[in-house]
């Protein structure tokens, strides 16, 4: 066909699919190097922070009883880990060494808190995206629900705490409820904003191809807002971590919030900072995971960060 033979761009595309092996190896090398550099900067950043703290301790400006530096609160992991053990904490008549080991205790506590964060985050996302889509899908819903959601969204999570306890008592349920309620309203508003930002061309293309309203929502609007929603999810991950501690500190059986409360009640700054360090590492790790997921799923997003760096 005349079109094919005449077109140089097409043959260029075909050639482009088989990039020489040497070139692709070079790119892989670049990526690894980039990764190393990033890791290096992360370590430097944290070391700098820890170093300043240690210096303050060294010169006697930071009282080790109030602001123990990293080498103290990270120094005795086994000792710190014991405080995570619920068996020794609450049961009268239990020996200090009963129950799980220090390491196991830390893992159980971290696991429980993480699970609450993720269950809460997942529930909030599903509910919020569902509600956001419904609001734009049914005009009736929009008028009926949006004012209330807008009204409730600035309410601080702390204010929901008594509600969580009234409704769910103690245990996992109120902690998860807190995460959900703290994120849900913002995420609904974010979803609506994302939907409103979908290019009208996308919708018009689907319309000219005979898509129904449902198909337009299911096949165009939802995939089109996913990149933005993943971004929203990432930002809310930190929010979820903050809220879950508040919820746990009020009397869930075990969790990071409980450990912080224990540390406060027993005046144990080392334990406070140890817990903070654990939360920091966890938050960092999960943010990294979500970023990887984002990059893998949303390969088509433009890399504006690179552009800004070039300015």
Partner 1 sequence: MAFDAPPTFSSKDAVVCRGVGKTWAAGTKRAHNALTDIDLDVAPGEFVVFLGPSGCGKSTLLYLIAGLEDATEGQLWSFGDLVETPSPQRSLIFQETSLFPWLTVWENVSFGLSIRGASKEERRTVAAEALQRVGLKAAMDKRPDELSGGMRQRVAVARALAMRPKVLLMDEPFAALDVQTRARMQDFLLDVWRDSGASVLFVTHHIDEAVALADRVVVFTSRPGRIKTIVPIDLPRPRNLFSRQAEDLRIQLTDLLRDEVDRAFAEQEALAVTA
Binding of partner 1 at residue 293 (CB under 8 A)?
A: no
Token output for 24 = 């692709």
184-213 residues in contact with partner 1 (CB under 8 A) are: 199, 201-202, 204-211
Show contacts with partner 1 in window 210-229 (CB under 8 A). 210-211, 215, 219-220, 223-224, 226
Residue 9 interacts with partner 1 (CB under 8 A)?
yes
Task: State the DSSP code for 197.
Answer: T
Query: Is residue 283 packed enough to be buried (19+ CB in 10 Å), middle (13-18) or exposed (0-12)?
Result: middle
Q: Which of 59, 61, 166, 300 binds partner 1 (CB under 8 A)?
A: 300
- Give the whole-angstrom CA distance, residue 82 versus residue 105: 7
CA dihedral angle for residue 298, residue 304, residue 306, residue 311, rounded to 10 degrees: 180
Centre a 10 Å sphere on the Cβ of residue 168 and count the other Cβ atoms it contains.
16
Site mask for partner 1 (CB under 8 A), range 128-167, x = bound: ----------------------------------------
Of 14, 21, 31, 311, which lies in the binding site for partner 1, with binding defined by CB under 8 A?
Answer: 14
CA distance 254 to 258: 6
Q: For partner 1, which is the closer residue by CB, 67 or 226?
A: 226
Q: Which residue, 201 or 266, is less far from partner 1 as judged by CB?
A: 201
Check if the beta carbon of residue 194 is closer than 8 Å to that of residue 220.
no
Among 17, 265, 266, 304, the residue binding partner 1 under the rule CB under 8 A is 17
Instruction: Report whether 226 contacts 200 (CB < 8 A).
Output: no
Task: Name the residues that contact partner 1, by CB under 8 A.
Answer: 1-4, 6-7, 9-10, 13-14, 17, 199, 201-202, 204-211, 215, 219-220, 223-224, 226, 299-300
């Amino acid at each position: 066909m005349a079109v094919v033979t005449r077109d140089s761009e097409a043959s260029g595309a075909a050639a482009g699919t088989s990039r020489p092996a040497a070139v692709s190896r070079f790119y892989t090398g670049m990526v690894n190097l980039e990764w190393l550099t990033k890791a290096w900067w992360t370590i430097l950043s944290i070391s700098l922070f820890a170093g300043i703290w240690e210096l303050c301790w060294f010169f006697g400006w930071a009282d080790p009883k109030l602001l123990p530096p990293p080498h103290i609160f990270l120094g005795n992991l086994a000792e710190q880990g014991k405080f995570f053990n619920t068996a020794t904490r609450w049961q009268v008549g239990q020996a200090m060494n009963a129950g799980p080991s220090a390491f196991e205790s830390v893992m159980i506590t971290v696991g429980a808190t993480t699970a609450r964060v993720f269950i809460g985050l997942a529930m909030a996302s599903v509910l919020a995206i569902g509600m956001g889509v419904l609001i734009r899908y049914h005009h009736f819903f929009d008028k009926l629900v949006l004012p209330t959601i807008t009204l409730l969204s600035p309410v601080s999570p702390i204010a929901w705490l008594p509600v969580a306890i009234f409704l769910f008592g103690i245990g996992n349920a109120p902690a998860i409820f807190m995460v959900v309620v703290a994120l849900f309203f913002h995420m609904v508003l974010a979803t609506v904003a994302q939907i409103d930002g979908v290019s009208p061309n996308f919708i018009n293309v689907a319309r000219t191809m005979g898509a129904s309203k449902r198909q337009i929502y299911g096949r165009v609007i939802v995939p089109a807002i996913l990149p933005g929603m993943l971004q929203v999810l990432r930002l809310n991950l930190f929010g979820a971590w903050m809220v879950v501690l508040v919820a746990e500190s009020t009397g869930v059986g075990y969790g990071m919030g409980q450990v912080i409360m224990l540390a406060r009640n027993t005046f144990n700054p080392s334990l406070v900072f140890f817990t903070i360090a654990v939360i920091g590492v966890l938050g960092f790790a999960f943010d990294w995971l979500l970023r990887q997921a984002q990059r893998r799923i949303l390969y088509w997003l433009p890399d504006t960060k690179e552009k800004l760096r070039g300015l």
